[in-house]
Amino acid sequence: MKLEPIEQGFVSRRSPDGPTAVAAGPRLAVTRDRDLLCTFMVQSGLGVNDFVPMLCRSSDNGITWRDEGPIWPHLSASHSLFGSVSSSGTGQFFFYGVVTPIDEPGELFWLDESQSMKPNELFTALSGDGRTWSDPQAIALPVPGAAEAPGALCVMRRGRWIGCFALENTPDADTVVDRRRVMAIYSDDQGDSWRHSEMHRFDEEHSGGAEAWVIELSDGRLLGTSWHADHSDKRNYPNAWALSCDGGQSWGPTCSTGIMGQSTGLAPLTGGRALFVYNQRRHGDVGVWLAVVRPADTDFGIEFNQVVQHTFGR
């Protein structure tokens, strides 16, 4: 098995001297009319707390793209929003992520001196057509800390909404944050109320999760993955994964994928398999990789693993 690119190009290119110089966090969803929606965030500079979600659309399978602008232009001066688009089996669209208030233009969301993140909340938003969106609805964090939630919301076939997030310290030194876990939140009443569970638990000192993702497999199990990060930056761990057989209320052991990657993404396939997409920045062939996996018990079940996009310039 070998993957070959059919087409490649840019969804959007930003001017390095403009007010939206940086783009991050691209995600895709498909409409009933087979259009592709791509959401991503722009910001004025790396680390600046002014993320603005943008939307582009393609009607020719991703060959060309139309820029449809900011999703919530009226919030861009007051709220920094980072998240991902996803869709349900009924054709509804969802946007899930984190929202951080903007107190001063140009402020940072990550504070190096305290190794902490500005306090934030989770949020969801809905759309029936991918063009008109509800305003973001905040979800208070169920545990102490700040949230890092770049993965999309999963809408299960039985109707449950489930998302996940990793934890970061806040500038409040008195707040004790358990960073050695990745949390799942789930709702059975379309976001009116939420419950939570622990999706990943890391035993290693100074380790934690990041870039987490959750999907429903074709057999009804939930698969959650994350970057197993070392906060002391002295060690490298393979990406982590876990399974849930009860809709996210409880999770099996946190296991190693055996893949030394960083940022992760997931999409379900038939037969209990999944596409596992990850960045490789530190080991071997640097670029974007794609693996086909069939997880079972404590075996990630890697059937295929290949680099699909080398880093530009290499």
Q: What is the pLDDT of residues 7-36, one digit of tens each?
A: 888 999 998 888 899 999 999 999 988 999
Show the CA angle centred on residue 26, arms to residues 192 and 242, nearest 5°: 60
Determine phi and psi for 217, rounding to 5 degrees: -75, 165
Q: What is the pLDDT of residues 182-231, one digit of tens each?
A: 999 999 999 999 999 999 999 999 999 999 999 999 999 999 999 999 98
| CB hemisphere CA count around 260 (13 angstroms) | 9
| End-to-end Cα separation, the chain, in angstroms | 24
Residue type, 141: L
The secondary structure of residue 245, as a DSSP letter, is S
Q: What is the pLDDT of residues 135-145, one digit of tens each?
A: 999 999 999 99
Determine phi and psi for 192, rounding to 5 degrees: -70, -35
pLDDT mean over 166-174: 95
- The reported pLDDT for the residue numbered 121 is 98
pLDDT mean over 243-272: 96
* Residues ≥6 apart with Cβ < 8 Å to 198: 181, 182, 183, 184, 251
Query: In DSSP terms, which residues pair with 86 in a beta bridge?
Result: 94
Here the tokens at position 295 are 């997880």
As a whole number of angstroms, the distance between CA 234 and CA 44 comes to 31
- The reported pLDDT for the residue numbered 313 is 44
Q: What is the DSSP string of 149-218?
A: --SPPEE-TTS-EEEEEEEE--S-TT-----SEEEEEEESSTTSS-EEEEEEE--STTEEEEEEEEEE-T
* Residues ≥6 apart with Cβ < 8 Å to 149: 82, 83, 96, 97, 98, 122, 163, 164, 165, 166, 212
- The reported pLDDT for the residue numbered 170 is 96
As a whole number of angstroms, the distance between CA 306 and CA 285 comes to 10
pLDDT reading at 152 higher than 70: yes
The maximal CA–CA distance of the chain, rounded, in angstroms, is 53
pLDDT reading at 301 higher than 80: yes
pLDDT reading at 97 higher than 80: yes
The secondary structure of residue 265, as a DSSP letter, is E
Determine phi and psi for 75, rounding to 5 degrees: -105, -5
pLDDT reading at 312 higher than 70: no
pLDDT reading at 285 higher than 90: no
271 near 277, Cβ under 8 Å? Answer: no
22-310 CATH fold: Neuraminidase (2.120.10)
Report field, pTM of the whole predicted structure over 0.75: yes
Provide the residue ranges of all domains of the chain, joining segments of one domain with +: 22-310
The per-residue b/e assignment along 191-202, b for 16 or more CB within 10 angstroms, e otherwise, is beebebbebbeb
